[in-house]
Every structure is written in structure tokens, then in C-alpha cells.
Amino acid sequence: MVGVRNYEVLDPPSLDFSCFLRRMLFKGECTEYLLPRGDCVEPVEQSYSPPRVLALFLGFGIFVIYQWIWRPNLLEPSILLGDPVALPVAIGFALILGYALAMVWWLIRQTRGQVLDVLRPTRGRVVSAICLVLITPIGVVSWLPWIVLGMAPFLWGNIELEFVWMLGVLCLVVYPLAAMIQSQSYQRRWLRFALFSLYCWAAYAFHMLWRGILTFPFPAPILPA
């Protein structure tokens, strides 16, 4: 949503359907029909409006898929899957995943026309990608997230080359997301930190919905041997 003063709206009934859809889904305003009044236009102040309605739609769709398609698999005896989470917890996890996916789509829309500038490597973006890989859960056992940063002291000295390659590939995969958060999201640092935390919780929610509640001792390995 872009807010500017000294603007007048010309021909409001002429707003097309795409503009109306953007206003409904993303709580924004169409500025294609806003023309400046006079020669002097004040600087544009940009404010960010997360796509809350889209997040609710995605969260509802994820919950429907989980509840009626995937949850029956968790109820069957399996050494690879655990017990399903409670219904209120599943709803909360589905909403978290829906909000995370909606924000990805919102960040991609913000990046249109400046992809090369956003993906240009900088120290902050590279560090953000590495930190996101180190703190994002790669598995959940007994409700405890397994993160690379917490496992590093136990793996130090026995790290194999395949594990290093896996971390490198993960950094490359999450780099576009980290770069978009750094350059296209909120200007306040604590809001950017909250957005990074959202994707860590989204990964946690995904593991809990996908594999259920795994407990120690578990026969299925979480990490490659």
C-alpha cells in the first residue's frame, strides 16, 4: 500500500477487477488511477500491509489437506511417522504455514522488476541466509526442534563432506528468501527478525504436521547416516 498526499482519484468506477481483487486479498490500494495535483509531489512514504486474507485462505487449505488426506496416514502404525497432533495445535500450525506462504508470495511481488538487485550478494544477506539455515529445524523429536547450530558441538570433529555439501545447498536454497526479507520487507530490524522467526516456526509446524509426534527412542533416522 503506497500512501501519498495531494493526490486525487480520477474516475473511481473505472477500477478493473484485478485492482478490486488486490484490494480484497492484500488489503492494499490501487494507485494506477492516482494522478498528482500540481507540479509538486511530496516524497512517497511506503507502508507494508501483509496479505492476511490470503494467509487465512492458505491456512484453511493446508488444514483441510492435513485433516482429511494426511492425518489418516498418521493414525496407522508406522515406524516412520508418529501420532498426529491435537486438533487445536494442527489448526495453529496450519495458520502459521499459511501466513509463511502468503508472505513468500508477497515478497516475490515486492521484488518484481528488481530481481538482480535483490539477489546481489551482500554481507548482510549472506549472513542472514547462513543464520536461517543454522536455526531452522531439520527435525522435531519429542516436541524438541533439531537445529544445526545445536547439533554442531556434537558433530564437531566428525563432520563428513556430505554434511558440509548439504549445508551449502541449503544456504543456496534459502538465500533468495533471506535476500528478499533483508531488502524488501520491513525497515525496522525487530520486524525483520520476526519475519525470520516466522519461517523457523513454519519449518517446525511442517515437521509436526508431516511426521507427527516422534518420541525417543525412534527407529527412523532423522538425519542421514
Model pLDDT for residues 163-199, shown as the tens digit of each residue: 778 888 889 999 999 999 888 777 778 888 888 999 9
What the block records as the C-alpha cell of 171 is 544456504
Residue 66 has pLDDT above 90, yes or no: yes
Over residues 17-30, mean pLDDT: 50
Does the bond joining 217 to the residue before it have cis omega, within 30 degrees of 0? yes
* Model pLDDT, residue 91: 96
Q: Can you point out the beta strands (E) in the chain?
A: 2-3, 7-9, 34-36, 45-46, 139-141, 144-146
* Model pLDDT, residue 116: 86
Overall pTM > 0.85: no
85: exposed, middle or buried (Cβ count in 10 Å: 0-12, 13-18, 19+)? buried
Q: What whole-number percentage of the chain has pLDDT above 90?
A: 36
Lowest mean pLDDT among 75-79, 142-146, 212-216, 220-224: 220-224
Dist. CA 164–CA 162, nearest whole Å: 5
Mean pLDDT of the chain, nearest integer: 77
Please give the residue that has the higher pLDDT: either 58 or 3: 58
- Residue 109 CB: number of other CB atoms within 10 A? 13
